[in-house]
Amino acid sequence: MPGVIRPARPRDAAGIADVHVASWRTTYPGMLPARYLLGMSRQSSYDRWQRTLSSPNTAAGTYVAFDARAGVVGFGSCGQQRSSIEGFGGEFFAIYLYDHAQGRGFGRRLMAAMAEDLIDRGMNSAVVWVLSTNPSRWFYERLGGVRIAEQEIDFAKSSVVETAYGWRDLAPLARLSADPPVG
C-alpha cells in the first residue's frame, strides 16, 4: 500500500507525538533554545494530541501522512487564522515530517489536503508562520506561498523572528491532492 494522507484519528496521537518531538529536535537546533528542545516530552505531546483528536471541535483540520511500513511519518493541522492578517481566513498551524519522509511528496500532499479542508470550511485563503531562519521555509514558496509579513515573538525566553507566507487563493494548492499517491 502506498503512503496516504488522511484525516487524523485519536489512535494516531502517539505517532503524531513522536513526529512532533523528533522533527522539532532535528529541525530547530540553533534556532530555538536547546533547553527547550531537550525538555520536550513525548508524553506531554501525546496527551495534547490525544485531547485534540478526541474532540470533534478540535480534531477537524488535522491530517497524517501514513506509510504502510512505517506508520505515521508526518502530520499537519489547519483552521481559522489565529493572527490578524487582513484578507486571509485560514491558517496552516503545523506541518512536520520525519527526516526520512521528506522529499517523497508527503509535505506537498499534506498542504494540499489542508487547503482542501479550509476551502470546504469556507476559508479560501490562508497563511502559515515559519521561523525566518528555518531553511525549510522555501517549501512554502515552491507551493505558491507569498511572503506577506514578519514579526518578532518571544518563545521559550528567547526572541525569534517569524515570516508569514500567504495564499490568497487556495484552489491551486488544493488541486495538488489529485496528484498520484506517494510510493
- Domain spans of the chain? 4-178
pLDDT tens profile 79-99: 999 988 999 999 999 999 999
Q: Looking at the chain, which runs of residues are DSSP E strands?
A: 4-7, 62-67, 71-80, 90-97, 126-131, 146-155, 158-167
Residue 183 identity: G
Q: Residues of 51-68 as b/e, b for ≥16 C-beta within 10 angstroms?
A: ebbeeeeebbbbbbbbbe
Residue 124 identity: N
Q: Looking at 8-157, which runs of residues are DSSP E strands?
A: 62-67, 71-80, 90-97, 126-131, 146-155
Question: In the CATH hierarchy, which fold is given to the domain comprising 4-178?
Answer: Aminopeptidase (3.40.630)
* CA atoms within 13 A of residue 50's CA, in its CB half-sphere: 9
Each of the 183 residues of the chain gets a pLDDT tens digit; together they read 368 999 999 999 999 999 999 999 999 999 999 999 999 999 999 999 999 999 877 778 999 999 988 899 999 999 999 988 999 999 999 999 999 999 889 999 999 999 999 999 999 999 999 999 998 899 999 999 999 999 999 988 889 999 999 999 999 999 986 555 444
pLDDT at 58: 77
Model-level pTM? 0.92
pLDDT at 183: 42
